[in-house]
Amino acid sequence: MTDSLKNLKLVNKDAFQHDLIEWFSNEQRDLPWRKDKNPYKVWVSEIMLQQTRVDTVIPYFNRFIEQFPTINDLADAEEEKVLKAWEGLGYYSRVRNLQSAVKEVKEKYGGKVPDTKEEISTLKGVGPYTAGAILSIAYGVPEPAVDGNVMRVISRILSIWEDIAKPSTRKTFETAIYELISHENPSYFNQALMELGALICTPTSPSCLLCPVREHCHAFHEGVENELPVKTKAKKQRQVQLASVVIREDEKTVIHKRSSSGLLANLWEFPTVEVTSPFMFDKSYVEALLMEEIGIEVKLGQAVGKIEHVFSHLKWDIQVFEGELKAPIKEDENLKVVSPEEIVEYPFPVPHQKIMKQYYHEE
């Protein structure tokens, strides 16, 4: 690691901080979570922004804060409502952890978000990046907030050739930021690095001629900005075959709640079972699975269509069937018969929103 940071001492730290913060002061985007430094709002925004683009987050953030304006509002909310507010954002454990952590802040910290690295890091869903981001932005504490942007920008500034896909590499960048961070304005320093990564120092074809810190950039001087950062590529998604059934009963349909752990936890869907591809269209086999796993007696009708959905780590291939009940449903916490007006109250993952849109219409 010492060798990977060999250029650190060559940076004119004061000039770098000044040029970076000056640029951010003038060019930062007007974003809803930048209106004040309310630690709760900063927290919510940082959780939403994990692995998620700014443009995607903006409307979710505005609705979320309108619906849950304070820590107490979120702590006291029904989980179903919270999940519905997150519907479509993905990585749903983020919001489960957020609500759990907010309850802890309410009970253990009197409703005040902790302002030390040690305490804030114990909260569920708050890892090293989010801890540093909240501490620096909301409280002005000079802690690093190393995300993908920061690794990309700093790998170019300091010409660091470590693989940023490796978990251990983050420490190299934290060490660099501890050395480089402005103690005058850690909030702007951290945000400026991320903003620079988003607007100028982009993954492909960075706009070096517009960059406020190009004269401090080792990669620019060497002409290797397009070779950095080094990042090994992810492996391909695993294929999963599913069968879903849309059941029409009068003006209603049947929905089922997913497991409380794992993929899309606690979200609702049309009754769905995993099938091995040879049996994709074997109706009696799918009917048996629906009975065993969900407890519904269904007569499958025709296959009405197919939905494909790609996750980060797997690919769903859903065969959609029509079906009717052979026996009445016994509703419980995880199984409901709902009307079109009611179904919109339940949080659905995107693949099943696609089914709703294409194969489930009222009338």
Q: How far is CA 45 from the centre of its chain?
A: 11
Nearer to DNA, 31 or 294 (CB): 31
Residues 262-281 that bind DNA (CB under 7 A): 262-265
Residues 184-223 that bind DNA (CB under 7 A): 191, 194-195, 197-198, 202-204
Among 2, 78, 110, 168, binds DNA (CB under 7 A): 168
Q: How many angstroms separate the CA atoms of 120 and 122, rounded?
A: 5
- The helices-and-strands tally (H runs, E runs) of the chain is 15, 7
Contacts of 115 (CB under 8 A, 6+ apart): 39, 135, 138, 139, 141
* Of 235, 278, 292, 341, the one binding DNA by CB under 7 A: 235
**Encoded tokens for 353:** 């929103």
Query: What is the C-alpha to C-alpha distance for residues 351 and 110, in angstroms, rounded to an integer?
Result: 40
Question: CB within 8 A of 64, min separation 6: which ones?
Answer: 44, 48, 85, 86
Question: What x-and-dash track marks residues 132-151 binding DNA by CB under 7 A?
Answer: -x-------------xxx--
DSSP character string of 164-183: TTSTTHHHHHHHHHHHH--S
* Residue 93 touches DNA, criterion: CB under 7 A: yes
Angle at 111 between CA 125 and CA 33, to 5 degrees: 60
Among 166, 221, 326, 357, binds DNA (CB under 7 A): 166
* Contact between 49 and DNA per CB under 7 A: yes
Find the binder of DNA among 7, 8, 27, 56 (CB under 7 A): 56
Q: Which residue has the tokens 């989980």?
A: 79
Residues between 314 and 343 that touch DNA (CB under 7 A): 314
**76 Ramachandran zone, left/alpha/beta (phi>0; psi -120 to 50):** alpha
Considering the rule CB under 7 A, would residue 233 count as an interface residue with DNA? yes
Nearer to DNA, 127 or 328 (CB): 127
Please identify, among the stretches 10-18, 234-242, 291-299, 334-342, the one whose residues bind DNA according to the rule CB under 7 A.
234-242
Token output for 120: 């804030």
- Pick between residue 134 and residue 158 the one whose CB is nearest to DNA: 134
Contact with DNA (CB under 7 A) among 144, 271, 323, 349: 349
Smallest distance, DNA to C-beta of residue 135, A: 11
Tally of CB atoms within 10 A around 293:
13
59 binds DNA (CB under 7 A): no
Q: How far is the CB of 154 from DNA (least distance, A)?
A: 12
Q: Hey, what amino acid is at 55?
A: D
Point out the catalytic residue in the list 46, 87, 162, 287.
46
Residues that bind DNA (rule: CB under 7 A) add up to a total of 61
Roughly how many angstroms between the first and final C-alpha of the chain, as a whole number?
65
Q: Is the CB of 7 or the CB of 266 nearer to DNA?
A: 266
In the bound state with DNA, the residue whose beta carbon lies nearer, of 120 and 286, is 120
What are the φ/ψ torsions at residue 98 (nearest 5 degrees)? -60, -45
Query: What span, in angstroms and rounded, lies between the C-alpha atoms of 86 and 109?
Result: 25
What's the rounded Cα separation, in Å, for the pair 129 and 126? Answer: 8
Strand, coil or helix: 297? coil
**The Cα angle at residue 225 between residues 220 and 231, in degrees rounded to 5:** 150
Is 30 a residue that touches DNA (CB under 7 A)? Answer: no
Write down the least CB distance from residue 142 to DNA, Å. 17
* Residue closer to DNA (CB basis): 151 or 298: 151
Single residue of 13, 27, 77, 91 touching DNA by CB under 7 A: 91
Q: Which of 35, 53, 330, 361 binds DNA (CB under 7 A)?
A: 53
> What are the CA-CA distances from residue 68 to residues 57, 77, 216, 309 (Å)?
16, 8, 43, 31
Options 49-57, 112-120, 220-228, 244-252: segment touching DNA (CB under 7 A): 49-57
The answer to whether 174 is a known catalytic residue is: no
Q: Which residues are catalytic?
A: 46
Given the rule CB under 7 A, which residues bind DNA? 31, 45-46, 49-56, 88-93, 97, 124-131, 133, 147-149, 152, 166-168, 191, 194-195, 197-198, 202-204, 231, 233-236, 238, 262-265, 309-314, 349-351
